[in-house]
Amino acid sequence: MLNLEGRKAPQRFGMLVHRIGFAKGRTVAVILVMGSPEQMRAAQAQPAPPKQAAVPPKPPSNYFTKGQIRFVHLGKQYVLPLESPPANPSRHSKDTASGGTIFHSVSLGFGPGPVEANVSMFVPDVGEFDPAQHPVSFELIVNMRGVFIDLHGNEFPGCRLRMSQLEAAGVKGKMSCPKPPPGGVSEIEFSAAP
């Protein structure tokens, strides 16, 4: 807060950014406010404190940084690495619905560079589920090499979603289908870990 009471008007002030860095996971800046050009020159002449290497904040523990998705599209197998862009990181969270039901929310992005496949789901726990039945929600979006597929739970007829791991330490799942769902995507397996 800058208190200008008791100052004679008009008076000019100068600002000098002294240093920028990280503190407790947040970017901070130290700004010096000077009342005269002499103070500005004196402040600039002082040696800056030794620079410390800026350490970017660690991602939250529920963010994933490694993993992959495997799937077959029209007879060809694809394997894409996990991508976790800062704007939309791959993550897991455990939430409580309005009725008190606990469910897991997972959002994963895959692809070398731009995200080419996304898996989003809400599931109650590890186990085997019908992706079309409430309270399970499953969505797969593939956007790669001229192919765009957007499949939701009810578009996986007769399929079973098997979740073998579902926590902040990692997510593993597999979609098994007696026949390929629309779009020709099958044999979907995915995993992610911090």
DSSP string, 97-160: -TTS-EEEEEEEEESSSS--EEEEEEESSSEEE-TTSTT-EEEEEEEETTEEEEEEGGGSTT-E
Tell me the pLDDT tens digit for each residue of 2-51: 455 555 555 555 555 555 565 555 665 655 555 665 655 665 556 655 66
Neighbours of 146 (CB within 10 A): 5
What is the predicted pLDDT for the residue at 1? Answer: 44
- Under 8 Å between Cβ of 34 and 52: no
Whether the predicted model's global pTM rises above the 0.85 cut: no
Cα–Cα dist 161/117, whole Å? 17
Q: Which two tokens stand for residue 143?
A: 């956007």
- Under 8 Å between Cβ of 69 and 111: no
Chain-centre distance for alpha carbon 68: 15
What is the predicted pLDDT for the residue at 128? Answer: 92
